[in-house]
Chain A
Amino acid sequence: MKNKANTKGRIMLFCARFVAYFVLIFLSALCLFSFYMLIINASRSNAELQAGFAGWFSTHFIDNLTNAWNDASINIPRGMLNSFMIAAACSILTTYFSALTAYGIHVYDFKLKKPAFYFIMAVMMIPPQVSAVGFVHLCNTLKLTNNYLPLIVPSIAAPVVFFYMKQYLESVLPMEMVEAARIDGSGEFRTFNQIVLPIMKPAIAVQMIFSFVGSWNNYFIPALLLDKAELKTVPIMIAQLRSADYSKFDMGKVYMFIFLAILPVIVVYIILSRSIIRGATAGAVKG
């Protein structure tokens, strides 16, 4: 009897695995295909790109790489460094302060708790396009152009990230732990930094990835605020290649740069996605 159930279980498991691998491989193929198209295009010359799409690599990968690298109007390493500084700062600030805010609203009871929560939820609904131009105007008035502060500091107040942290705390944080820490004489900030933050590691890693990518790919606001060559970020430089004049216009360089721009983000993603898993193990030990 038990044996039979076991066999049945094994067959079920086999089927489940089969389905899982099938779905994963299918979706991965779709995703890799878009990436593949990009690499193909990065290996083709401007004339070949104009000739339409091709299914296989061409021979201009190295040409495009050196042309993009040597293009006098842009400085790729500088752009990557600039983008990295902004994106790293944003992702650290946004996750820390969102977690802090979420913790504040989740754990403490105070008069304005509900209004504060509903306020943040409400502002999440306002499309970002609405405040973009006003924000740029504000920065112009405050003489904050050609400065990274207006690109970094606002990330402290990210309603979407806050909402995630709040929901995450709701699902993982036992109040007893906070109480226990207090009995042990831990201060409120210490409790947050040393007990709560480690529990939230998976959530923090996830949102760090998202905000890093969001900031890395952000074009419109940085383009309106920065115009000094040494301060420009990757998306601005890509747009610059795209608005090159006819004698210098080269889509091969554009695709190459788009391709190059993805590589650092993949590294960041792989590093951070490890802590999603590590966080879980820590959770298991804690339990």
Chain B
Amino acid sequence: MKKVLSLVLAAIMVLGIASAAVAEEAAGKPFIIYAWNEEFKGFFEAYVQDALIAEGYAPQFVINPSDNGVYQQKLDEALLGDAQVDMFLAEADYIQKYADSEYTQDITKIGVTDFSNAYEYTVKAASDADGVVKGVSFQCCPSALIYRRSIAKDVLGTDDPAEVQAALDSWEKFEAVAADAKAKGYYMTASFAETYRVFSNNCTSAWVDADKNLVFDAQIEAWIAQTEKFVENGYTLTDGIWGDEKNAQMFAEGKTMCFFGPAWYFNFCMGNAQDPEKGCSGDWAICQGPAAHFWGGTWLMAATKTQNADAVAEVMNAFINNEEICSNLVAKNAQFSNNKAVNAKFAEDPEYGSDFLGGQNDVAVFAGMTDNIKWENHTIYDQLLNEGLQTNLQEYFKGVVTKDEALANFYKYVNETYPEIVTPE
């Protein structure tokens, strides 16, 4: 028994050490990209990898899951330490943490200079406080109002996107229609936070001022006031943005008229609506809604310490300025590319349309609204402040705590998460 165990142990140790020391296939100059999933890796391998290998690079992805903040923790460790990082991926929610730091570099100095075809907000998002551009996005994620055609017909008398847009192009109209929808037995939205991004993307002040005081923008206050009214009048359900109760509203038997989201949302996250039996594919359409906004998107950032600046620039240019690659992203990968000229081509194509949206050309709608999307007043704290505000206020909207208690809990969360931020007394 003992001998067997010690043999097993010895074998494991040897195997463990041996496998740890597996030699790298060093067939070129290592080019290291940090990512949390394989989405970009797929595009990279399809469109740019061969060229880089031909130039003598050996591209390697270091992929760490985002669960429990592992991705950012390891990326930070790598950027601050001496590990090699040439390029890394970042999401809109936390991009400022990296863009507004010394660990990313000015890409105009390494050869990425033409942003004429990229959407302005995607360039601003990857810029630091002084406007120095540190990265580019390979996708653009304008977010639309996604409505049920049949419910719109019942409530508004039309399901035509232009007419629906005219009926819903301001918050006043949106609220008036919510009342009509309610009168006919429908919900306007299925989550208390459904409209949050539409408001927060259009804030005129940042979450935190120069003295690090927490500031509630008028848009945030407006969202709170609107949601109070919606919950009180039964215009909305109080579920979370990813909740089961909201998802159940996407079935054909659902009673909710409006959802908000970009192409990835209705293509991949509205599974219930696409269900062949209980779903209602084709009974949907999109329009801009009360205000332009975006949701999600992934950016490529250039690490300051890269020794492979040429390769970084080559990849970045490929994904914003190479028309062939950008066209492939739209046609083959269901992306809304970050190249205006390419998107315009698809927007004008009468053959191009989405079955889910009853044949509507979604690229045309998105192309029409991207110019109105703003990237202003963002801070490195946005992701968790937005999340924290929503989850703490949800208890208030559910009637579990008072508004003061909910806000007090939000401030506690802020104090624990960001010691430097000063919360109101």
Contacts and interface: CB of A to CB of B under 8 A. Distances in A.
A227 B39 contact: no
A247 to B, nearest CB: 6
Interface string A66-78: 0000001100000
Contact of B12 (A88, A146, A236): A88
B51 interface: no
Contacts of A231: 19-20
A147 B63 contact: no
Contacts of B267: 246-247
B64 A52 contact: no
B63 A73 contact: yes
A107 B248 CA distance: 64
Contacts of A85: 12, 15-16
Contact of A148 (B17, B81, B251): B17
Given A51-B272, A73-B63, A245 B39 contact: yes
Interface in A115-163: 136-137, 140, 146-149, 152
B269 A92 contact: no
A52 B244 contact: yes
A220 B69 CA distance: 10
A248 B39 contact: yes
Contacts of A137: 77
A250 to B, nearest CB: 10
Interface stretch (B2-10, B102-110, B185-193, B218-226): B2-10
A269 B9 CA distance: 18
Nearest to B298: A245
Contacts of A224: 70, 73-74
Contacts of A53: 244
A47 to B, nearest CB: 4
B22 A227 contact: no
A61 B204 CA distance: 50
Chain A interface residue count: which class?
Answer: 35 or more
B269 to A, nearest CB: 6
A228 B25 CA distance: 13
Chain B interface residue count: which class?
Answer: 35 or more
B264 A246 contact: yes
Secondary structure dominating the interface of B: helix
Interface centre among B16, B65, B71, B251 (most CB of A within 10 A): B65
Contacts of B12: 85, 88-89, 152
Interface in B51-101: 62-68, 70-71, 73-74, 77, 81
A73 B247 contact: no
A114 B334 CA distance: 68
A246 B258 CA distance: 21
A147 B247 contact: no
Contacts of B275: 47, 51
B355 to A, nearest CB: 16
A51 B20 contact: no
Interface centre among A197, A223, A245 (most CB of B within 10 A): A245
B46 interface: no
B248 A52 contact: yes
Contacts of A219: 67-68
Given A51-B278, A140-B81, A92 B8 contact: yes
Contact of B65 (A52, A242, A245, A247): A242
A140 B77 CA distance: 9
B90 to A, nearest CB: 14
A89 B272 contact: no
Contacts of B67: 219, 223, 239, 242-243
B16 A227 contact: no
A275 to B, nearest CB: 9
Nearest to A246: B268
A50 B264 contact: no
B102 to A, nearest CB: 20
Contacts of B8: 88, 92
Contact of A223 (B15, B22, B64, B265): B64
Nearest to A92: B9
Contacts of B264: 246-247
A218 interface: no
Contacts of B81: 140
A243 B68 contact: no
A59 interface: no
Nearest to B5: A92
Given A149-B16, A243-B36, A47 B274 contact: yes
Contacts of B333: 247
A146 B265 CA distance: 36
B306 interface: no
Interface in A76-105: 82, 85-86, 88-89, 92-93, 96
Nearest to A220: B68
B163 to A, nearest CB: 30
B347 to A, nearest CB: 22
Interface string A34-71: 00000000000011001111000000000000000000
B425 interface: no
B239 to A, nearest CB: 12
Nearest to B22: A230
Contacts of A230: 19, 22
Contact of B63 (A152, A220, A227): A227
B20 A248 contact: no
A46 to B, nearest CB: 6
Contact of B20 (A73, A88, A147): A147
Given A50-B247, A89-B9, A227-B64, A243 B37 contact: yes
B251 A247 contact: no
Interface in A207-229: 219-220, 223-224, 227-229
18 contacts: A50-B271, A51-B248, A85-B15, A88-B9, A96-B5, A146-B20, A147-B17, A148-B16, A149-B17, A152-B12, A219-B68, A220-B70, A224-B70, A227-B64, A230-B22, A242-B67, A244-B38, A248-B37
Interface of A: 46-47, 50-53, 72-73, 82, 85-86, 88-89, 92-93, 96, 136-137, 140, 146-149, 152, 193, 197, 219-220, 223-224, 227-231, 236, 239-240, 242-249
The 7 closest A-B pairs by CB, nearest first: A245-B39, A239-B65, A47-B271, A246-B268, A148-B16, A239-B67, A243-B66
